[in-house]
A and B are shown apart, each in its own frame.
Chain A
């Protein structure tokens, strides 16, 4: 798929995020918007998946370890055709299958329930290990937050992944630099992220997480890397695409009000028209 196509889809993903979080009056727009290009690349370019057959045995797996950015995942899944885009407005509402954090039992296309930080990565390691044990050649992807990697369990998981040479596994760190309480380096610095993963026997790649040439190259490099898992550190902008949300930690877990919703959607419309 051409970069332009991916950019157009990502812009629709961002609209889905704003629409669903506004409708829910709660949710996490900042980290969903920063990861929108990653979600788009994974579902529309990288992964072998079939929305008509979400449980296909040989499908690639994705675990959203930073589960609070479910609005981004849901929007990408809806646009891919797993469920109607119209359902996004039911996010977080009583009776909706679109729970605040992803539920594998309810949402078509969700391979693992997640939300408690640090836990998704371990399940992704289990899937990659299982593929090796069963002689299957599918690949496993998991998306983490840069705040999330403060969780010790992430490093337990990384240690086992490196030890077991899981080259069918890709960690992606959405390095938008902000967590709820502020800048990650002020709260409890996870840096240097690449060196840490390299010490855990990963191949580490730094990319601009909004540049599809760089994203494409990184995922290709991950496929070509044998004998060790890969981590892609995606340098992103929290709130990307909605100017008043960009680089503002306060937009981590707050929904836009009606006025802000209108402004955000208008801005995304303009971006879309410009593509």
Chain B
């Protein structure tokens, strides 16, 4: 992002990337089916439905059943993608995902949209800040949270090329496209250093990657060199990369649009506690519910934008310097 005028940066919601890649994959994979629970317009699976109506199954407002139907389809060699809001597919249907998809390790791809607080005005009941935590506890489940539209498309493609259950987390709000460059490569399970640094490591996922880059820019102006790592695949986590960066900088900040309990921050701590303990500060939604407001206002209020991340990192660096 550095060097670009912010107004020139293209902004697209990650769910758009999901919808467009589904259409693209539909041509190559005749055994692919897309299921929705009456949110096809919002989750963007409607794009697939327009092109492949016979392979788009609207299950109605019945997420638990949709999960099971997908398991049945997968047991016959079809590749179902199922979609709803994160709150309903990861939250409401958690046990169905665990027992009908996870336990038999069936080849079902879950595309969850409207994750996190950027759902915005709908408020707390629809703002799912717990889905990464829930999905991460299911043995064998891959969990991905793309940072932008480009990465969303790459993640969906990687998901279909992988045999087994995958949870993909997408957002409602448009966010800056930061990976639109010719040398961009995506590999499931691998994180990316998007900015090198030596004083502190910022590990971010989803919309917080853009914010972390902004924060790093500001920190640099004050002589703090921050390394920024984009983690799209939260499970399995790129432990090697996380440990190597922690060794280099000696302290880590995580940033995510998710509860600080159980998400990326916890995954990073699990790894560092075991392998290379360093001070860690987790930025995310504290142990609380969201509220109604526009996505932009909420991101600022919850301290997940560039300015908020900058402030938290600065305080953390000062605090850890004193020791």
Chain A residues near B (Cβ < 8 Å): 63, 103-105, 111-113, 115-116, 118-131, 133-134, 152-153, 156-157, 159-160, 163
Query: Which residues of chain B are within 8 angstroms of A160 by Cβ–Cβ distance?
Result: 59-60, 62, 65, 69
Tell which of B10-18, B94-102, B158-166, B283-291 binds the partner.
Answer: B94-102
The residue on A at minimum CB distance from B69 is A126
Please state if A130 and B96 are interface contacts (CB–CB under 8 Å). Answer: no
- Which of the residues B54, B65, B70 comes within 8 Å of A157, measured between beta carbons? B65
Question: Chain B interface mostly helix, strand, loop or mixed?
Answer: helix
- Which of the residues B57, B76, B96 comes within 8 Å of A127, measured between beta carbons? B76
Please state if B76 and A134 are interface contacts (CB–CB under 8 Å). Answer: yes
Question: Chain A interface mostly helix, strand, loop or mixed?
Answer: helix
Query: Which residues of chain B are within 8 angstroms of A125 by Cβ–Cβ distance?
Result: 65, 68-69, 72
Tell me whether A119 and B62 are in contact in the complex, defined as CB-CB below 8 angstroms, given that A130-B73, A133-B33, A133-B54 are known contacts.
Answer: no
Please state if A126 and B55 are interface contacts (CB–CB under 8 Å). Answer: no
Please state if A157 and B99 are interface contacts (CB–CB under 8 Å). Answer: no
Query: Which residues of chain A are within 8 angstroms of B103 by Cβ–Cβ distance?
Result: 103, 113
The residue on B at minimum CB distance from A126 is B72
Please state if B75 and A105 are interface contacts (CB–CB under 8 Å). Answer: no
Query: Closest Cβ of chain A: how far from B100's Cβ, in Å?
Result: 5
Query: Which residues of chain B are within 8 angstroms of A130 by Cβ–Cβ distance?
Result: 72-73, 76, 78
Q: Can you report 22 A-B residue pairs in the complex whose CB atoms are below 8 A from each other?
A: A111-B75, A112-B71, A113-B103, A113-B104, A116-B96, A116-B99, A118-B64, A120-B68, A121-B68, A122-B68, A122-B69, A123-B75, A126-B71, A126-B74, A126-B75, A129-B69, A130-B72, A133-B78, A156-B64, A157-B65, A160-B62, A163-B60
- Measured CA separation A159–B66 after assembly (Å): 12
Kindly count the residue-residue contacts between A and B in the assembled complex, taking CB atoms under 8 Å apart.
103
Please state if B99 and A127 are interface contacts (CB–CB under 8 Å). Answer: no
Query: Which residues of chain A are within 8 angstroms of B71 by Cβ–Cβ distance?
Result: 112, 122-123, 126
Please state if A153 and B64 are interface contacts (CB–CB under 8 Å). Answer: yes
Query: Which residues of chain A are within 8 angstroms of B74 by Cβ–Cβ distance?
Result: 126
Query: Which residues of chain A are within 8 angstroms of B68 by Cβ–Cβ distance?
Result: 119-123, 125-126, 153, 157
Proximity bits, B90-134, A CB within 8 Å = 1, else 0? 000001100110011100000000000000000000000000000
- Measured CA separation A259–B55 after assembly (Å): 57
Tell me whether A112 and B75 are in contact in the complex, defined as CB-CB below 8 angstroms, given that A119-B99, A133-B54, A159-B60 are known contacts.
Answer: yes
